[in-house]
Amino acid sequence: MGKDIKNHSAFPKECEILLPAARCFQVVACLPQGSDMNIVQLEEINSPVKLIELGPQITHSSTGASGSNSKGAAASVTVRKSVTQTDKNLEKRV
């Protein structure tokens, strides 16, 4: 689903991906990993906005978890507290 951008990142040791526009995610869990880092587990849900079909995409590892309105894709995202808001605010934004 996402495009690997670690070669273009300011943090090349981190695995970062760029997601297509109009993707919607639901926060499944926030797991503390130390004083300055969290792992945020996301599940893709149907977007209210429909863009053009992108065709086949190369997918990165996912858990395949699905819910009633889920597209069946799930991912874990590692974020640093210095660039995130509180968990409640993060859930509202995502």
pLDDT at 36: 82
Q: Is the full-model pTM beyond 0.85?
A: no
**What is the C-alpha separation between 42 and 10, in angstroms, rounded?**
23
The CA R_g of the chain, rounded to the nearest whole Å, is 14
* Pairing outcome for strands 70-80 and 3-4: unpaired
Domain ranges of the chain: 3-93
- What pLDDT digit, counting tens, does each position of 37-85 carry? 888 898 989 888 777 676 776 665 545 444 444 455 556 665 554 433 3
- Show contacts of 64-70: CB within 8 Å, 24+ apart: 65/28, 67/26, 67/43, 69/45, 70/43, 70/44, 70/45, 70/46
Whole-number pLDDT of residue 30: 93
Measured distance CA(88)–CA(82) in Å, rounded: 16
